[in-house]
Amino acid sequence: MYSNKNAYALSDTLKVNERCSHCNTKYRIEPSFFTAQCTLVMQWGLHLVLPLL
């Protein structure tokens, strides 16, 4: 999946191959991935900040 197998090459950690080397399936991010991430981060942040107010 990742283009560089070395886990310590920090400059290449987010580089992903375009296709699977085994089945040739094209990799893609799910459409709602970023929406769900933003929602979870906002909820988590509110749970941490609101008790301090």
Q: pLDDT tens across 1-53, in order?
A: 667 777 787 787 778 788 888 898 888 777 777 777 788 888 888 888 888 87
E strands of 1-53, at which residues? none
Beta bridge mates, 16: 2
Instruction: Report residue 2: phi and psi, to 5°.
Output: -85, 145
C-alpha neighbours within 13 Å on the C-beta side of residue 51? 5
d(CA 23, CA 35): 29
pTM over 0.95, yes/no: no
SS3 28: coil
Domain map of the chain by residue range?
10-52
pLDDT value of position 1: 63
